Amino acid sequence: MRHLLAFLLLLLSVVVPQAARADTGYDLWLRYQPLDRRQADAVQHRAAYLVAEGNSPTLAAATEELRRGMSAMLAPHSFAVAGSAMRNGAVVIGTPQSSPIVAALGLPLAKLGAEGYLIRSATTAAGARITVIAANQDVGVLYGVFAFLKRVQLGQSLDNLDIADAPRLKVRVLNHWDNLDRYVERGYAGQSIWDWQKLPDHKDPRYTDYARANASIGINGTVLTNVNANADVLRPEWLAKVKALAGVFRPWGIKVYLTARFSAPIELGGLKTADPLDPKVAAWWKAKVEEIYRVIPDFGGFLVKANSEGQPGPNDYKRTHADGANMLADALAPHGGVVMWRAFVYAAENPDDRHKQAYTEFQPLDGKFRDNVLVQVKNGAIDFQPREPFHPLFGAMPRTPLMMEFQITKEYLGFATHLAYLGTMWEEALQADTFRPTRGWTVARVLETPVEPGAATGMAGVANIGSDFNWSGSQFDQANWYAFGRFAWNPEARAEPIARDWAAMTWGSDPAIVDPIVAMMMGSREAVVNYMTPLGLGHLMATGHHHGPGPWIADLARPEWNPVYYHKADAVGIGFDRTATGTNAVAQYAPEVAAQFGDVKRVPEQFLLWFHHVPWDYRTRSGRSLWDELVTHYDRGVGTVAAMQASWEGLKGKVDDARWSEVRDFLAIQRQEAGWWRDASIAYFQSVSKRSLPTGHAAPPHDLDWYKAIKTPYAPGNGK
Amino acid sequence: MRHLLAFLLLLLSVVVPQAARADTGYDLWLRYQPLDRRQADAVQHRAAYLVAEGNSPTLAAATEELRRGMSAMLAPHSFAVAGSAMRNGAVVIGTPQSSPIVAALGLPLAKLGAEGYLIRSATTAAGARITVIAANQDVGVLYGVFAFLKRVQLGQSLDNLDIADAPRLKVRVLNHWDNLDRYVERGYAGQSIWDWQKLPDHKDPRYTDYARANASIGINGTVLTNVNANADVLRPEWLAKVKALAGVFRPWGIKVYLTARFSAPIELGGLKTADPLDPKVAAWWKAKVEEIYRVIPDFGGFLVKANSEGQPGPNDYKRTHADGANMLADALAPHGGVVMWRAFVYAAENPDDRHKQAYTEFQPLDGKFRDNVLVQVKNGAIDFQPREPFHPLFGAMPRTPLMMEFQITKEYLGFATHLAYLGTMWEEALQADTFRPTRGWTVARVLETPVEPGAATGMAGVANIGSDFNWSGSQFDQANWYAFGRFAWNPEARAEPIARDWAAMTWGSDPAIVDPIVAMMMGSREAVVNYMTPLGLGHLMATGHHHGPGPWIADLARPEWNPVYYHKADAVGIGFDRTATGTNAVAQYAPEVAAQFGDVKRVPEQFLLWFHHVPWDYRTRSGRSLWDELVTHYDRGVGTVAAMQASWEGLKGKVDDARWSEVRDFLAIQRQEAGWWRDASIAYFQSVSKRSLPTGHAAPPHDLDWYKAIKTPYAPGNGK
């Protein structure tokens, strides 16, 4: 006893100083906090040691993660990696190929595919009660291990387990809009975590933690570079750096992808053209792709932004997007690579409603893309606004693999300091019914259903990850990274349970912590919609950096860059008529959807001004006039933020002080900026509507010119 | 006993997971690692608890730092903050004003000034053996506390203490070349730590740790913004952000300063001129300064880069630097602020040797500056090269306060990944004898000696601090921040003991750790000199970002931007003739110095090519020809890096693995880039000298064109 005590004192003396450090949030949702003693006893009864057979890098990663997580959570119980001793409490992980034990269990793995897993309680012939985590491939074992660790983190029972799960989409990727100088376009979390200058020689330990976090939520690919692409990343000295990252990520089931600048054959190859139908161009790409695969044998492929916002592309040579994508796809196909080709296009010389342009350009190309092309479509037709109706291309290209592009980074939702959980936004988009071909074909179902057996499916998320200690710029933005992974794994998922899982793992599983946090999260995106873009408004932000309100902006070179293009407020009313009397964008949807969106009586009020120009005195469903309803929404948004502040005050002392204080500060910034949006927007729209504010709603404290004069030129993330 | 055990187990279960985290180096030299048991017992015998009277923010900071450090180092002993109970082992801190106990001790504080401190062992009237840390001002107590903590960290005895120390310079400041968008010019440690976007509402806890680290080495000021200045920081909304930082720093004895863009009256004030003799201009600055002091009552003052590399300044209006500086000084004087006016000037239209221009322009202004102006002079006459002779202005302006400007960030010494301890460079500069007015007037003595009693003195260091977890871009670059503070406190300090203190506090006090680390550090800067700029060469780097060698560069717009301007290599020889047969820059030094530097036989060989153009077959002191000696130096530099790598391998397992691995990787990068410098430089100079390499020295593996073709356009820190 005295020796034990002395040892504990010694151990304490070693570890206390580190424990005194403030919690930065670096550990994300993989905190592996010690369970309370009762829980630890119960878990240890079922999971006391690990039996891992096989020695692939992925199985080694799974083994180490399980050891690391369980050791931390079960302390002071130990959780050892044992040989193959099958006593009670063994956790056996492996595939039938890697593990004779797993093979002998004869598990029903067939339906799980390459990435699925199975977690089962079992009893050995000798009577030992064990848990098995099995899969067809090593990466499935890894995913199973993370699922098992999550159960333990959440305090869920390990008795009588019979779990089988597999991802519903094949390509689950992050898109990093990261430049080679570490500037992150639309990044609000510091610099790029890719420290190119020190690669390939120094592999920051953070790369491994990045891979662990992604693997824990099923992300299996990452596009390292900005869609506004730089051809230099395709040079040999840069491919050596990419190779180093790929080597770190590989054990975690993550492939690297790069953005391909369409004009690279000119810039790097010295060709006179990048015409995709020019044989020399195709040959250049073929050789470049072969070079890449020599360096990175499991390279994932290319993401391309072409003929969009100044990027070069096949249209420069009067070729179609399909011509461009297919040329790259042909180069990649022999190696198993894919092309993710963005549908985010709108042309400087096209006077048509920007909402319609992607559909107009891409829908006729349905069926014309190679099998290894995925067309990557943003959730809405404009650009990641706080709320947009679903993109009309979903369901409209039945012969083309479409993948979803969500934006995790909050370019239009307040940057890092606004608490906005995007799970609700994504659920809304995924559960929207396209009616193509018939009722029930939600966006999720469109995404999940391969255009033919074995065809590609996928989802991309524009990353919110940077060099900040907390990765995402704020503690709560970690939830958006987490939720993206969960939706990419299962587009049928729901935002609320995802928020609940994240909150419990990140802040503590006590319901007194989880419940108020989940409530804050679930209402948070609607708050942003209300104080920025209520009732179907959109694209009202300041120019360039997109920080703060700018509904009055009308002087930018291209019409569709100006907020006034979108809200069209005038003395009579407000809103963009996209019905048959206007641009008829509604006609791009299925007839059932078009009928609903196109009818001012039937359109969901949240999309009212997206599709209709409506008089200021239009009677909304609340009975209030549109003007009064608009003002009410602005105040409701600000009020929700104030309520979040009050909720957060109640959590003081229940969560660690460092993270609590950061969130408190950020909520104060959000409250202030929500008020800024509200006041500036009302001041502007009032200057147009000439209406007085409804009773009980305060006038903006300053006049419109005061708001117009606010400049924040150094706001982060501007696309340089 | 059982309760204690249960408690300890509980505590362990809480702290163990955090302890598992990799060490990033975030804690700098303030790690406060637990002492071994024997040492802890000895320390606890002398220092068991803290008696702190008084309640100023600075004393509170001192108290908390002492509690934090001692608790961590003495664990499992406690170190409590007690009332005024004077038992054995009390550590009493305070000033005669704050503490009746201190006042009663009648300590000899008179000579310590405002910032000095005294640490003494004492016995109370009642016979209690105590330690007292006392000062005239609270900030002196804070410095004393850090000095006391350092003794404990270093394992030095606390018996019979009788220590008195005070800084020899008044203004000890960091210069952050940080832009308002968080880009750091010449920054190799990530972004600026000033997260302006979230200020003033969110004060990152890192600001406090920054202040703690600076206070621990006696730094008492920080210039927050880039010398290539942006007037916007003087706007009210930015001053609110500056105020928030000032509030964090104030308890730690640190004042904030800003860079003043000379044209701000035009840019912000709408004036037509920034002429310093225009009364409207002076009035604008007076009002602006008053506005600043209303917001920040202890604002430190301005740092100005004027008429230098494109910055606006008084010369634009045919006024002198004194005119400009004095105008600002007059605005600041009523508030106690100072102007730090940089002497780093060279003019586009001036064909004279760049080495001479600062002296030519500033020396005649001696005596013409206001009392609250310090002229800030770089250590050498060009620009922070790996080795430069001391700046001829030191000693040449006896009626003007001159402050030193050192560059901590390694713009010209390999960025973050080259291990180069700059203490030796700074000692060399500070110990150089100016012979002005007579022998023995070293640069240090010039700096330390006020031009009249009470006049300002100072030292500035261009910070190497950024958002990287390790603050400085590498573990070893922390040593340069540390050493700068030590030299600013005492310019007579020596590099070796500073390195020893830093190594012990940062890596571990075991001589088996300290000795090899100090040996590496002490030879490291000479290694960089040898593989980059041997024998008095300088300014040979690539353009813009300054990453890598570019001795062949000859095509830049201004002559003095080109490396060929500096080395002047030709078929006959190499070196810049700055003697009477050349530009006669030597004449700017005192006659004794000029005689030495100007004589090819007497000039220290390390400055040979700085002052002389010498034939390739000139016989050097080693007996080798200059060409052979040059090649020998290049190889010696690379060899030193290889030796550092070997030393570091020997430390594996003796220091923590995370930091060890980072240093190992960086040394590998350094080895590779040292080879690149060596090979490229030799390939180039050989193309000029047409000489073959001496026996035993390998030819560069590639031809000159290969080295010329290397481009690293995304290297960090470029002045955008």
**Tell me, what's the ipTM?**
0.95
Residues of B with a known catalytic role: 309, 383, 411
Q: Looking at the structure, do residues A204 and A155 belong to the same domain, yes or no?
A: no
Residues A291, A242: contact at Cβ < 8 Å?
Answer: no
DSSP collapsed to 3 states, B382-408: CCCCCCCCECCCCCCCCCCCEEEEEEC
Q: Looking at the structure, do residues A160 and A181 belong to the same domain, yes or no?
A: no
Asked if the Cβ–Cβ distance from B658 to A205 is below 8 Å, we say yes
* C-alpha dist (Å) from residue B263 to B173, B231, B256, B435: 24, 8, 21, 39
In a domain, B718, yes or no: no
Nearest to B20 among A72, A714, A715 (CB): A72
Q: How far apart are the first and last CA of chain A?
A: 65
Q: What residues make up the domain containing B49?
A: 25-165
Q: For residue B287, what pLDDT band results from cuts at 50, 70 and 90? A: very high
State both tokens at B457: 């003195």
Q: Looking at the structure, do residues B154 and B232 belong to the same domain, yes or no?
A: no
Q: Looking at the structure, do residues A448 and A569 belong to the same domain, yes or no?
A: no
Cα angle for residues A417, A421, A422 (degrees, 5° grid): 115
pLDDT-above-70 percentage for chain A: 97
DSSP letters of A606-639? GGHHHH--EETT-B-TTSSBHHHHHHHHHHHHHH
State both tokens at A318: 């009067």
Asked if the Cβ–Cβ distance from B72 to A17 is below 8 Å, we say yes
Asked if the Cβ–Cβ distance from A180 to B34 is below 8 Å, we say no
Length of chain A: 720
- Rounded to whole angstroms, the Cα distance separating A611 from A599 reads 9
Tell me the angle at which helices A321-332 and A279-295 cross, rounded to the nearest 10 degrees: 40
What is the reported pLDDT for A21? Answer: 62
Q: Looking at the structure, do residues A416 and A476 belong to the same domain, yes or no?
A: yes
**For B8, which residue in chain A has the nearest alpha carbon?**
A8
What is the reported pLDDT for A179? Answer: 98
Contacts of A190 in chain B (CB under 8 A): 190-191, 467
Q: For residue A348, what pLDDT band results from cuts at 50, 70 and 90? A: confident
In a domain, A211, yes or no: yes
Give how far A75 is from chain B: nearest CA, Å: 6
Average pLDDT (B264-293) is 98
Residues A573, A541: contact at Cβ < 8 Å?
Answer: no
Report the predicted TM-score, pTM, of the whole model to 2 decimal places: 0.96
Look at B347 and A37; give whichever has higher pLDDT: A37
Q: Looking at the structure, do residues A126 and A194 belong to the same domain, yes or no?
A: no
Average pLDDT (B541-561) is 96
Give how far B57 is from chain A: nearest CA, Å: 21
Whether pLDDT at A8 is above 60? no
Q: What is the mean pLDDT of chain A?
A: 95
SS3 A51: strand
State both tokens at B581: 């047969």
From A27, A204, A383, A605, the catalytic residue:
A383
- Rounded to whole angstroms, the Cα distance separating A138 from B663 reads 33
Residue holding tokens 């700018």? A550
Chain B interface, mutation test: which of A183, A201, A641, most B Cβ atoms within 10 Å?
A201
CATH number for the domain that contains residue B641:
3.90.1330.10
Number of structural domains in chain A:
3
**For A17, which residue in chain B has the nearest alpha carbon?**
B72
Burial B665-699 (b: 16+ CB within 10 A, else e): bbbbbbbebbbbbbbbbbbbbbebbebeeeeeeee
Q: For residue A85, what pLDDT band results from cuts at 50, 70 and 90? A: confident
pLDDT digits (tens, 9 = 90+) for B301-337: 999 999 999 999 999 999 999 999 999 999 999 999 9
pLDDT-above-90 percentage for chain A: 93
Asked if the Cβ–Cβ distance from B415 to A197 is below 8 Å, we say yes
Q: DSSP secondary-structure letter at B330?
A: H
pLDDT digits (tens, 9 = 90+) for A92-140: 999 999 999 999 999 999 999 999 999 999 998 889 999 999 999 999 9
CATH number for the domain that contains residue B57:
3.30.379.10
Q: CA nearest B413: which of B290, B530, B563?
A: B530
Contacts of B202 in chain A (CB under 8 A): 417, 662, 665-666, 669
SS3 A153: helix
Chain A interface, mutation test: which of B201, B476, B547, most A Cβ atoms within 10 Å?
B201
CATH number for the domain that contains residue B408:
3.20.20.80
Average pLDDT (B687-701) is 97
Cα angle for residues A565, A566, A569 (degrees, 5° grid): 85
Residue holding tokens 């006659």? B591
B497 preceded by a cis bond (ω within 30 of 0): no
- Rounded to whole angstroms, the Cα distance separating B540 from B528 reads 13
Residues A344, A313: contact at Cβ < 8 Å?
Answer: no
Rg of chain B's alpha carbons, rounded to an integer? 26
Q: Which amino acid is at B368?
A: K
- Rounded to whole angstroms, the Cα distance separating B597 from B391 reads 13
Q: Looking at the structure, do residues B74 and B176 belong to the same domain, yes or no?
A: no
Contacts of A232 in chain B (CB under 8 A): 713-714
What is the reported pLDDT for A637? Answer: 98
From A411, A428, A628, A673, the catalytic residue:
A411
Last residue of a domain, one of B165, B187, B215: B165
Q: What is the mean pLDDT of chain B?
A: 95
Phi, psi (rounded to 5 degrees) for B426: -70, -40
Asked if the Cβ–Cβ distance from A415 to B201 is below 8 Å, we say no
Whether pLDDT at B113 is above 70? yes
Contacts of B196 in chain A (CB under 8 A): 714
Q: For residue B21, what pLDDT band results from cuts at 50, 70 and 90? A: low
Is A383 assigned a catalytic role?
yes
Contacts of B72 in chain A (CB under 8 A): 16-17, 20
Give how far A467 is from chain B: nearest CA, Å: 8
- Rounded to whole angstroms, the Cα distance separating B394 from B392 reads 5
Contacts of A712 in chain B (CB under 8 A): 197
Asked if the Cβ–Cβ distance from B8 to A13 is below 8 Å, we say no
Beta carbon pairs, A and B, within 8 Å: 150
pLDDT digits (tens, 9 = 90+) for B355-397: 999 999 999 999 999 999 999 999 999 999 999 999 999 999 9
Average pLDDT (A544-565) is 96
Whether pLDDT at A210 is above 60? yes
What is the reported pLDDT for A275? Answer: 98
Asked if the Cβ–Cβ distance from A191 to B191 is below 8 Å, we say yes
Contacts of A417 in chain B (CB under 8 A): 197-198, 202
Contacts of B193 in chain A (CB under 8 A): none
Asked if the Cβ–Cβ distance from A715 to B22 is below 8 Å, we say no
Chain A interface, mutation test: which of B185, B198, B225, B656, most A Cβ atoms within 10 Å?
B198
State both tokens at B250: 């104030």
Asked if the Cβ–Cβ distance from B9 to A11 is below 8 Å, we say no
Asked if the Cβ–Cβ distance from B191 to A196 is below 8 Å, we say no
Look at A719 and B525; give whichever has higher pLDDT: B525
Phi, psi (rounded to 5 degrees) for B437: -80, -20
What is the reported pLDDT for A15? Answer: 38
Chain A interface, mutation test: which of B197, B208, B415, B470, most A Cβ atoms within 10 Å?
B197
Q: Looking at the structure, do residues A78 and A225 belong to the same domain, yes or no?
A: no
Give how far B9 is from chain A: nearest CA, Å: 7
Last residue of a domain, one of A116, A149, A165: A165
Average pLDDT (A31-51) is 95
Q: Looking at the structure, do residues A147 and A212 belong to the same domain, yes or no?
A: no
Residues A709, A548: contact at Cβ < 8 Å?
Answer: no
**For A417, which residue in chain B has the nearest alpha carbon?**
B198
Average pLDDT (A394-417) is 98
Whether pLDDT at A657 is above 80? yes
DSSP letters of A208-266? HHHHHHHHHTT--EEE-S-SS--GGGGSHHHHHHHHHHHHHHGGGT-EEEEE--TTHHH
Nearest to B18 among A19, A191, A468 (CB): A19
- Rounded to whole angstroms, the Cα distance separating B394 from B366 reads 12
What is the reported pLDDT for A4? Answer: 43
What is the reported pLDDT for B6? Answer: 42
Residues B474, B151: contact at Cβ < 8 Å?
Answer: no
Whether pLDDT at B3 is above 60? no
* C-alpha dist (Å) from residue A478 to A363, A560, B334: 35, 32, 50
Nearest to A13 among B16, B21, B34 (CB): B34
Asked if the Cβ–Cβ distance from A19 to B14 is below 8 Å, we say yes
pLDDT-above-70 percentage for chain B: 97
Contacts of A26 in chain B (CB under 8 A): 21
* C-alpha dist (Å) from residue B167 to A140, B116, B209, B481: 63, 6, 22, 17
Q: Looking at the structure, do residues A252 and A320 belong to the same domain, yes or no?
A: yes
Nearest to A72 among B17, B190, B416 (CB): B17
Q: Looking at the structure, do residues B79 and B221 belong to the same domain, yes or no?
A: no
pLDDT digits (tens, 9 = 90+) for B408-438: 999 999 999 999 999 999 999 999 999 999 9
Q: Is B89 exposed, middle or buried (0-12, 13-18, 19+ CB in 10 A)?
A: buried
Cβ atoms within 10 A of the Cβ of B399, count? 12
Asked if the Cβ–Cβ distance from A197 to B716 is below 8 Å, we say yes
Asked if the Cβ–Cβ distance from A11 to B12 is below 8 Å, we say yes
- Rounded to whole angstroms, the Cα distance separating B379 from B427 reads 11
Contacts of A713 in chain B (CB under 8 A): 232
Asked if the Cβ–Cβ distance from B205 to A22 is below 8 Å, we say yes
Residues A135, A111: contact at Cβ < 8 Å?
Answer: no
Residues A494, A425: contact at Cβ < 8 Å?
Answer: no
Q: Looking at the structure, do residues A46 and A117 belong to the same domain, yes or no?
A: yes
H-run or E-run covering B150: helix B138-153
Last residue of a domain, one of A507, A542, A557: A507
What is the reported pLDDT for A351? Answer: 87
In a domain, A7, yes or no: no
What is the reported pLDDT for B82? Answer: 84
- Rounded to whole angstroms, the Cα distance separating A647 from A178 reads 35
